[in-house]
């Protein structure tokens, strides 16, 4: 009988590669919890290292292939990892993926401060970098536990790094700039860069990552909650200077000039994603303090046309606030529409909101998947026009059309937004769906609940087919009161309106803390300008979010809106 240790090294390496891959066992995750599941692969590789020297030589590189520190409130893992690489520089060549996502800027010192033994080792590593006048600043910030220095130091010891994920607005780029100035080949193997932000620390300047985006092999870049304005656009991003083929913005803000210059800077763009639509107030950004500064739909299309020969995926979803739908018809008419997509040669997937499409949109013949999101009025006229084009042979490759809405009964109304007399929502839905009989197109109207769902992460078409893997309303932690002062204010106001609590209103209005919460809630809830005049235009999961239907069947007969039209 053949002993496994007698197998060729190449075969053993291939086998242990599967041991180190993330598990896809939902049952294990439910039993042990997601944190425990994330450790299973590491524990298996550690056990493999203990089998024999031969196994250790194969498994140890796999242990160091990926480093992830998302412990949020401390840097113990990063400090330990950096110290290990300093003592064993040979292990650095195995690192391919680094993720550092502290929750917030960490206070210097305290439990975050490296111990004296680690400081000695790390300071020696910094001296070897030959940073010149910048070395003193590195030494000081290192002793204080600054995460930016640890991220740069670890990256400097990993010559084969392929993917780098950093916390936007928290981990700064200055140390990386120092390393690039010293060694232009720094991060020369990097192919993916993800600047993962959150609403609290949003608004960081995307231009600060100027040098990182010029890495020679970088093909995919993602930003969440950042801003890019033309007046601060990096001068080094000249026409055709960037190798990036896949660009994603989640909850970001860009003006018309910056998106045009960015498209010009990309040599060959294949995937473009800009997604700011969310129904979760915990993920939404505050209203833009500069109204109408966001790029418009025509500007996005014009910029994308620079890559009409190569672009395969186009997704643009603008932020929308609840008050925009006080009058849905007026809102839709105020949005500046996309023009014709016909010039694109290989564009296969389009994801755009309903409000920014004309009643008779023009798509390319290469289109395979069309996702129309945030439908708040009838889609009947648009669908009828699409049917004419489909049966006329304009879209020979089209396989799927999905209309996503919070209330699907709105989408199946008559074009004048009235309820067809004598017809239920189910009748109207089937009437629209029957239009696609004798075509190859799978048409669906898909409801999604009151929050933006994860999805659209990848551009492969099969990612649009599984509707059961996405979360629904109620998932995730309940927002704290300091995150949602307007919610607290609403609850308190309702309580005080109760006759049984009327005597408490006077006392509440004399409470400074209550009045401060009221003022904050009113400030956050009040519109601060809108983009309606140029409404054709912003964590996120990585890869832009996508809505996912909970069912693919027609609505039942009793699902018309309760409010009168």
**Residue 39 C-alpha from the chain's centroid:** 25
Domain boundaries, the chain: 1-63, 70-161
- How far, in Å, CA of 301 to CA of 352, rounded? 11
Provide the sign of the torsion angle of the four alpha carbons 70, 71, 75, 80, taken in this order.
negative
From the list 206, 219, 215, the residue with the least C-alpha distance to 255 is 206
Quote the tokens at residue 517. 């919460």
- Widest CA span of the chain, in angstroms? 87
pLDDT value for 523: 62
- How far, in Å, CA of 262 to CA of 210, rounded? 12
Question: Contact at 8 Å (CB) between 361 and 382?
Answer: yes
* HSE-up of residue 558 (Cα within 13 Å, Cβ side): 0
Quote the tokens at residue 199. 């609403």
Q: Any idea what the Cα angle at residue 276 is, between residues 274 and 277, rounded to 5°?
A: 120
- How far, in Å, CA of 42 to CA of 38, rounded? 8
pLDDT value for 14: 73
Please report, in tens digits, the pLDDT of each residue of the chain (565 residues total). Answer: 667 777 777 777 777 777 755 554 444 343 444 444 445 566 777 777 777 777 777 777 777 888 988 865 578 888 899 999 999 999 999 999 999 987 655 554 444 678 888 899 999 999 999 999 999 999 998 888 888 999 999 999 999 999 999 999 889 999 999 999 999 999 999 999 999 988 888 899 999 999 999 999 999 999 999 999 999 999 999 999 999 999 999 999 999 999 999 999 999 999 999 999 988 888 888 777 676 789 999 999 999 999 999 999 999 999 988 878 888 999 999 999 999 999 999 999 999 999 999 999 999 999 999 999 999 999 999 999 999 999 999 999 999 999 999 888 889 888 888 888 888 888 889 999 999 999 999 999 988 764 333 333 333 333 333 333 333 333 334 444 344 444 545 555 555 555 555 555 666 666 776 676 666 656 655 544 444 333 333 333 333 334 433 334 444 445 555 444 4
SS3 (DSSP) at 66: strand
């Amino acid at each position: 009988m053949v002993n496994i240790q007698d197998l060729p090294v190449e075969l053993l390496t291939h086998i242990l590669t599967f041991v180190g891959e993330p598990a896809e066992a939902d049952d294990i995750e439910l039993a042990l919890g997601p944190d425990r599941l994330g450790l299973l692969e590491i524990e298996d590789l550690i056990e493999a290292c203990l089998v024999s020297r031969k196994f250790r030589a194969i498994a140890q590189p796999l242990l160091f292939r990926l480093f992830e520190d998302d412990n949020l409130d401390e840097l113990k893992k990063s400090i330990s990892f950096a110290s290990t690489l300093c003592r064993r520089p040979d292990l650095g060549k195995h690192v391919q993926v680094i993720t550092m996502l502290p929750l917030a800027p960490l206070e210097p010192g305290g439990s975050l401060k490296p111990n004296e033994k680690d400081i000695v080792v790390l300071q020696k590593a910094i001296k070897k970098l030959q940073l010149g006048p910048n070395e003193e600043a590195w030494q000081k910030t290192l002793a204080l536990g600054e995460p930016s220095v640890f991220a740069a130091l670890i990256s400097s010891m990993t010559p084969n790094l392929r993917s780098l994920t950093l916390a936007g607005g928290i981990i700064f780029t200055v140390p990386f700039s120092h390393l690039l100035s010293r060694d232009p080949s720094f991060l020369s193997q990097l192919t993916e860069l993800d600047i993962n932000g959150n609403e609290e620390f949003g608004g960081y300047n995307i231009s600060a990552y100027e040098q990182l985006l010029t890495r020679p092999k970088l093909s995919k870049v993602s930003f969440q909650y950042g801003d890019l304005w033309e007046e601060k656009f990096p001068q080094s991003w000249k026409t055709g200077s960037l190798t990036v083929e896949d660009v994603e913005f989640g909850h970001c803000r860009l003006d018309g000039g910056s998106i045009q210059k960015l498209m010009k800077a990309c040599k060959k763009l294949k995937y473009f994603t800009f997604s700011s639509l969310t129904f979760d107030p915990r993920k939404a950004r505050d209203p833009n303090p500069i109204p109408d500064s966001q790029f418009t739909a025509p500007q996005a299309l014009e910029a994308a046309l620079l890559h009409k020969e190569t672009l395969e995926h186009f997704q643009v979803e603008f932020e929308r606030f609840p008050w925009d739908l006080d009058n849905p018809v007026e809102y839709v008419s105020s949005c500046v529409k996309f023009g014709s997509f016909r010039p694109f040669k290989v564009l296969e997937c389009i994801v755009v909101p309903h409000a920014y499409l004309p009643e008779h949109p023009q798509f390319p013949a290469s289109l395979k998947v069309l996702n129309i999101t945030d439908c708040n009025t009838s889609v009947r006229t648009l669908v009828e026009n699409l049917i004419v084009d489909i049966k006329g042979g304009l879209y020979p490759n089209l396989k799927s059309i999905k209309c996503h809405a919070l209330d699907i009964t709105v989408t199946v109304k008559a074009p004048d937004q009235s309820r067809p007399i004598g017809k239920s929502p189910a009748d109207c839905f089937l009437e629209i769906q029957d239009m696609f009989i004798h075509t190859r197109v799978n048409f669906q109207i898909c409801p999604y609940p009151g929050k933006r769902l994860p999805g659209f992460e990848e551009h492969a078409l099969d990612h649009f087919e599984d509707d059961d893997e996405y979360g629904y309303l109620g998932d995730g932690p309940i927002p704290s009161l300091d995150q949602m002062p307007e919610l607290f204010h609403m609850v308190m106001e309702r309580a005080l309106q109760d006759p049984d609590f009327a005597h408490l209103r006077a006392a509440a209005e004399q409470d400074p803390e209550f009045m401060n919460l009221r003022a904050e809630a009113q400030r956050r809830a009040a519109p601060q300008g809108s983009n309606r005049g140029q409404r054709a235009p912003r964590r996120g999961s990585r890869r832009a979010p996508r809505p996912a239907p909970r069912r693919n069947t027609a609505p039942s007969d009793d699902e018309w809106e309760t409010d009168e039209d």
